[in-house]
Amino acid sequence: MKAVIFPGQGAQFIGMGKNLYEQSTLARTLFQSSNQLLGFDITALMFEGTEEDLRRTSVTQPAIYIHSVIAALVNGLDKSAKMAAGHSLGEFSALAVAGALSFEAGLSLVSIRANAMQKACDLAQSTMAAILGMEDEAVEDVCAEIQASLGEIVVPANYNSPGQLVISGSKLGITAAIGLAQQKGAKRAIELAVNGAFHSPLMEPARLELAQGIENTLILNASIPVYQNATAMPHILAEEIKRNLLIQLTAPVKWTQSVKQMLADGATEFVESGPGKVLSGLVKKVDRAIPTASVD
């Protein structure tokens, strides 16, 4: 049973999607539609922009969504996949390919989300860190200890794979958590090059802004189960999908749990659609024997 998976922010690269544009009429049509909907030439930035251009959240998130969904459609994954999931931003790509969102509606929501997150980042000194080589429960304890002792927000943000958990919170809280994790035996504890605390309570202003966008968007029942980040469970019904999309901005991404649940539900291969192969690597860390592939 084929599961299609979609990457999140950080997978972008210069030239992303260019081959699709050159080889597929459908891709060209959707790229041109994206430029019109966004009101700027995102295609030019994707194909020929600078790394700095692609690092801007207002560009990064729509670019990854556009590349991921177009790659899936061109390769027929909307017809062959039996289940779908996406990491953070990638959840919107999964919902588009599963038919819960039109391509245009998904892109519009992603643009709203990206701009709202950037504004939320500007409101507080915040960041994220990857904690490697610790059990999830031990990292959760580190977060709780820092919150209790310093009163700073520090929470689990991305359960990426066994032994890799990203935490999110205030700059002061994350710095303290890195030190405590190292004391408690983490193999590595590294602050990430981000300017915000994604998937934490500090994203609440962005969640409120996204809520209005979701309310004004037509969301349908999905044609295949989408394993959403907030629950790590399969969802098809539009109302459940809406609720979980809202929760997602301030809740942790349960990627490890989602992969395990898809395997339990019969997934026999995973195909990553879009830029990079990060998720394929994370799937292998959950089950080294499971076949993975990628399309871009």
- Which residues are marked as active site? 88, 199
Give 75's contacts (C-beta < 8 A, 6+ positions apart). 273, 295
| Secondary structure (DSSP) of 136-149 | HHHHHHHHHHHHHH
H helices, E strands: number in the chain: 14, 10
- Distance, CA of 58 to chain centre: 15
- d(C-alpha 65, C-alpha 24), whole Å: 17
| Nearest in space to 161 (alpha carbons), one of 52, 288, 265 | 288
- d(C-alpha 71, C-alpha 267), whole Å: 21
| Secondary structure (DSSP) of 86-121 | ESTTHHHHHHHHTTSS-HHHHHHHHHHHHHHHHHHH
What is the DSSP code (8-state) at residue 253? Answer: B
